[in-house]
């Protein structure tokens, strides 16, 4: 296949993290068949339901699909500032040089964020539990005490 990005570049099959991708001999851009994008992400996170949606801010691309020559669509990868091109016919994705590393970095960041959210929710639940257990049986609520100050009944 010809490189969609540079004139005269050729895409040759290369092994990338165990995935057969096509890499341009000239600009080092990378073509991923449709399912290979998923495989690439799976090297970091293989739970699809935790990944969220991939395509944000879709707009027409300036390059054509190397398989069908249709104009591709650019989207922001998972709401991050990482523009990636994909073929509307479902042929695959074009990653400019270094973008495949950004994909993996962002996927790792997403895992960290998910873990942080999970632990924050855990802490919050623990905090609420702590509040509930601190309230000794029969003790007045804060509101009850404040009310007591105004009515003179302590
Ligand atoms: Zn190229
Ligand atoms: Zn195509």
Residue 75 Cα to ligand 1 midpoint, Å, equals 20
Kindly indicate the confidence band of residue 148, based on its pLDDT and cuts at 50, 70 and 90.
Answer: low
pTM of the complete model: 0.75
Query: What is the structure's pLDDT at 41?
Result: 93
Question: What does the mean pLDDT of the chain come to?
Answer: 87
Tell me the chain's radius of gyration from C-alpha atoms. 26
Q: How do residues 59-107 score in pLDDT, each as one tens digit?
A: 999 999 999 999 999 999 988 899 999 999 999 999 999 999 999 999 9
Residue 48 Cα to ligand 2 midpoint, Å, equals 24
Kindly indicate the confidence band of residue 137, based on its pLDDT and cuts at 50, 70 and 90.
Answer: low
pLDDT over threshold 70, residue 30: yes
Q: Which of 59-63, 117-121, 146-150 has the lowest mean pLDDT?
A: 146-150
Q: Which residue has the higher pLDDT, 63 or 129?
A: 63
The Cα-based distances of 73 to 7, 36, 92 in angstroms read 20, 18, 11
DSSP the chain: -B-SSSTT-BEEEEEETTEEEEEETTT--EEEEHHHHHHHHHTT---GGGT---EEEEEEEEEE-TTT--EEEEEEETTSS-EEEE-TTS-EEEE-TTHHHHHHHHHHHHHHHHHHHHHHHHHHHHHHHHHHHHS-TTPPPHHHHHHHHHHT--
How many domains is the chain partitioned into structurally? 1
Q: Which ligand is nearest to the CA of 33?
A: 2
Q: How far is CA 70 from the centre of its chain?
A: 27
The range of the structural domain enclosing residue 106 comes to 1-154
Q: Which residue has the higher pLDDT, 15 or 53?
A: 15
Residue 98 Cα to ligand 1 midpoint, Å, equals 13
């Amino acid at each position: 296949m010809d490189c969609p990005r540079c004139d005269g570049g050729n895409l040759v099959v290369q092994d990338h993290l165990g995935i057969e991708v096509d890499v341009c001999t000239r600009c080092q851009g990378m073509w991923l068949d449709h399912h290979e994008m998923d495989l690439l992400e799976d090297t970091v996170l293989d739970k699809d339901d935790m990944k969220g949606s991939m395509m944000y801010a879709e707009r027409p691309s300036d390059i054509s699909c190397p398989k069908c020559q249709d104009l591709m669509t650019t989207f922001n990868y998972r709401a991050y500032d990482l523009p990636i091109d994909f073929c509307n016919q479902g042929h695959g994705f074009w990653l400019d040089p270094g973008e495949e590393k950004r994909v993996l970095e962002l996927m790792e960041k997403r895992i960290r964020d998910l873990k942080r959210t999970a632990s924050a929710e855990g802490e919050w639940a623990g905090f609420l539990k702590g509040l509930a257990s601190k309230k000794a049986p029969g003790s007045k609520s804060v509101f009850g005490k404040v009310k007591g100050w105004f009515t003179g009944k302590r």
